[in-house]
Amino acid sequence: MEESDSGGTAPTGQVVSSLLCCQKKTSFQSWFKVLLLLGLVFVACYTLSDSSPSWTQLYEHYQSFMKRTNEVNSHPGYPVHPKHRESLRHILNRKTGPTLPPAGTQYHQAYAPNYHFIMDNKDVCKIWTPFLALLVPVAPHNVAARDAIRQTWANRSVVQGEVVRTLFMLGLPGGDDAEQVQETLKQENLKHQDLIQSNFMDTYLNLTIKTMVIMDWLATRCPSAAYAMKIDSDMFLNIDNLVIMLQKPGIPTEKYLTGMLMWDRPVVRSKDSKWYVPEEMYPDPTYPTYCLGMGYLFSNDLPAQFVEISKKIKPFNIEDAYIGMCMKKLGLQPTSPPDASQFKAYNWKYDRCEYSKIITYILASSEQLVEYWTDLKKPGAPCKGSE
Ligand SMILES: *[C@@H]1O[C@H](CO)[C@@H](O)[C@H](O)[C@H]1NC(C)=O
Ligand SMILES: *[C@@H]1O[C@H](CO)[C@@H](O)[C@H](O)[C@H]1NC(C)=O
């Protein structure tokens, strides 16, 4: 569970929250802040003797940490129109029960063929067969994130000699300006031909639908691609390293799912959490092994199998864990990447050398993506000592 404005995923967050402490209530958080500050002061006093990190540096560190922590808590980036800002609890407490699936629904709400594409760019994979298709869930109005990605990791159509395509996945915009947003999306797609849109409401709680519609698109519109990746719109992606990884001998061409692996993650049962999943929806206390939603990679034989098996899997609102469940029901397991340290989640600070070696990092903004990317690509060796 993770999330990002991307209309992205679900489970990065769960990990992050357990790493950073954040699912407790505000009072706990303030205590945590105080403790953290005290800790930093202690470290500062301790290190001041040899005066390596300055007070300001430590304070900046603390500030950026808190900023990130708060972002993780509130995810201000994911813009949900007030109309759709209905909490899961609310939906579940309704006398009428959970939200009714759209008319003509088969199986359940997350069964992708229930929906139809409004934009599908169905020829993109026919013109050049991609080695790798990158599918980015993103909120409809978030053109800034799409533009930043177009300028950075989606800029080249050939990477390390392989054809790579990036496409953005959207649902229907909500709110009073929905018609207007829809019109701009059409224009944007005319210009870039990289939007895929389906007719489900684009909301945070519908991210599992979004992921499954991505799978449906890959299975029906892009089956010729060798690999695909679901990657959130707030990610730094070192696309060269990713393709290099996939070109390594021994990387499976079938039944392969990789990324940052999550084992035995407990299901969040605290109703105040963003990642709350009620027992009625998912009774087991833990999730099957899954890959963190920020960015996971798979051989392109899997999407059709995910869609098919999903008929038998009750949906829940944690998209990456849902994919983990599909794997389990298919009798498959996610695989660790050749170098697990290349799939990173939260970063403390930008380091050019570090960014030249990794595959993923979660960023705070689209500006950061452009800034880091530009710096990484400037002339000169990224790591000291290798000049
Ligand atoms: C890719 O980057 C180049 C150089 O920065 C720029 O001129 C070009 O317009 C970009 N292409 C796309 C598709 O954004
Ligand atoms: C999810 O999308 C469906 C189909 O558009 C819609 O009926 C439902 O209200 C959405 N659910 C949430 C929680 O946004």
Atom of ligand 2 nearest to the CA of 205: 13
Question: What's the gap in Å between 156 CA and the centre of ligand 1?
Answer: 8
Which among 98, 4, 21, 8 is positioned nearest to 273, based on CA atoms? 21
pLDDT at 27: 52
Could you tell me if the CB of 266 is within 6 A of ligand 2? no
pLDDT at 124: 94
pLDDT at 90: 46
Q: Are 253 and 299 in contact (CB under 8 A)?
A: yes
Q: Over its length of 387 residues, how does the chain's per-residue pLDDT go in tens digits?
A: 544 444 434 444 444 444 433 333 445 556 666 676 666 655 554 444 444 444 444 445 544 444 444 433 333 333 333 333 344 444 444 434 445 556 667 888 899 999 999 999 999 999 889 999 999 999 999 999 999 999 999 999 999 999 999 999 999 999 899 999 999 999 999 999 999 999 999 999 999 999 999 999 999 999 999 999 999 999 999 999 999 999 999 999 999 999 999 999 999 999 999 899 999 999 999 999 999 999 999 999 999 999 999 999 999 999 999 999 999 999 999 999 999 999 999 888 999 999 999 999 999 999 999 999 999 999 999 998 754
Q: Which amino acid residue places its CA nearest to atom 13 of ligand 1?
A: 155
Give pTM, 2 decimals.
0.78
Name residue, tokens 């934009």. 119
Domain 112-336 has CATH 3.90.550: yes
Distances (CA, A) of 274 to 53, 318, 340: 36, 10, 27
pLDDT at 20: 39
User: CA-based angle 73:68:65, to the nearest 5?
Assistant: 125
Could you tell me if the CB of 182 is within 6 A of ligand 1? no
Q: Are 362 and 346 in contact (CB under 8 A)?
A: yes
- How many CB atoms are closer than 10 A to CB 269? 13
Question: What's the gap in Å between 371 CA and the centre of ligand 1?
Answer: 15
Residues 136 and 339: their CA atoms lie apart, in Å, by: 23
Could you tell me if the CB of 99 is within 6 A of ligand 2? yes
Atom of ligand 1 nearest to the CA of 192: 13
Question: What's the gap in Å between 269 CA and the centre of ligand 1?
Answer: 46
Indicate the domain borders of the chain: 30-93, 112-336
Could you tell me if the CB of 21 is within 6 A of ligand 2? no
Q: Which amino acid residue places its CA nearest to atom 9 of ligand 1?
A: 151
Q: Are 310 and 111 in contact (CB under 8 A)?
A: yes
Proximal ligand: closest to the CA of 108: 2
Question: What's the gap in Å between 135 CA and the centre of ligand 2?
Answer: 21
- How many CB atoms are closer than 10 A to CB 328? 17
